[in-house]
Amino acid sequence: MTPLKAIRRHCLWCANDQAHEVNLCASARCLLHPYRFGRMPDMPDPSPLGAIRGKCLDCVGGSFQDVTTCTTASCTLHAFRLGKNPSYGEKKRTRAKALTRHPA
């Protein structure tokens, strides 16, 4: 699952699986709000992973330690709670950083 799909599923859960309610969502202060349709907005700030991390921090009361020890695995955001995509391996992450530092 991608971070955007996880956000979409979380928003559907929040709206009792009513897509129409997700469309009408007025919670503009929610960090996930710009991504609620499961796609990138025109001006992404923060990134989807950053938004998930912020939402998780808000959920546990602002303690990063509590986010790292979260046991709510049924939450669609759980795998992304640390601001990293678990399906994007460390090798790929290191290579991507190297490419951005030294473009060919």
Q: Could you read off the pLDDT of 51-92 as tens digits, one per residue?
A: 999 899 888 887 888 888 888 889 999 999 888 888 876 666
Residue partners of 37: CB distance under 8 A and separation at least 6: 8, 22, 23
pLDDT average, residue stretch 41-46: 78
Nearest-angstrom CA–CA distance, 96 and 28 = 32
Number of neighbours of residue 10 by Cβ within 10 angstroms:
21
pLDDT tens string 6-20: 999 999 999 999 999
pLDDT at 25 over 60: yes
Structure-token pair, residue 14: 């929040």
- Nearest C-alpha neighbor of 58 from the set 14, 12, 1, 5: 14
Per the document, the length of the chain is 104
pLDDT at 103 over 90: no
Determine if the pTM surpasses 0.85.
no
Q: What is the pLDDT of residue 24?
A: 94
